[in-house]
Amino acid sequence: MLKVAAIRSLCWLLSLLIILPLNGCTTLQPVEGGNNNLPARIRAQKLIREGDRVEIRTVQDEAYTFKVTEVDDELVRGDAVTVRIDDIAELRLRRFNAQRTAGLVVVIVGLVVMAAIAINDSANNICSGGGCAPDTGL
């Protein structure tokens, strides 16, 4: 009975270990326009960098999602997309988040430790009840 419970616990923990990394180590950060002056902020603060994943909505209400390959004072370029900075009405940046990554690592390590303890306890409980064969030295 304990062995079945330990295996079920291990299956749940392994399922979590598979699902958690899908959450990723990035966050989607909306960038506020500040008095409808988003293009000026993008230029002055260098908000968009190569390698960023962006979601852009233009003043013409066109939506783009892409990875930035090049950015200058006038244009943001991605795979097959070029958007003028002056046309950007809304901007969201997807960037690496160190806090989220650290939290994910702590959770995964904790789950692995809990699984190891559960399996070890289960094996000890089964053997302590006389259920394990004696060691024959072979």
3-state SS of the chain is CHHHHHHHHHHHHHHHHHHHHHHCCEEEEEECCCCCCHHHHHHHHCCCCCCCEEEEEECCCCEEEEEEEEECCCEEEECCCEEEHHHEEEEEEEEECHHHHHHHHHHHHHHHHHHHHHHHHHHHHHHHCCCCCCCCCC
User: Could you tell me the fold of the domain covering 26-97?
Assistant: SH3 type barrels. (2.30.30)
- Best mean pLDDT range from 24-28, 52-56, 95-99, 119-123: 52-56
Tell me the pLDDT band of 86, cut-offs 50, 70 and 90. very high
* pLDDT tens profile 7-45: 677 667 666 666 655 555 556 666 766 556 899 989 988
- Average pLDDT, integer, range 59-86: 95
* pLDDT tens profile 103-112: 777 777 777 7
| CA 65 remoteness from chain centre | 18
Domain ranges of the chain: 26-97
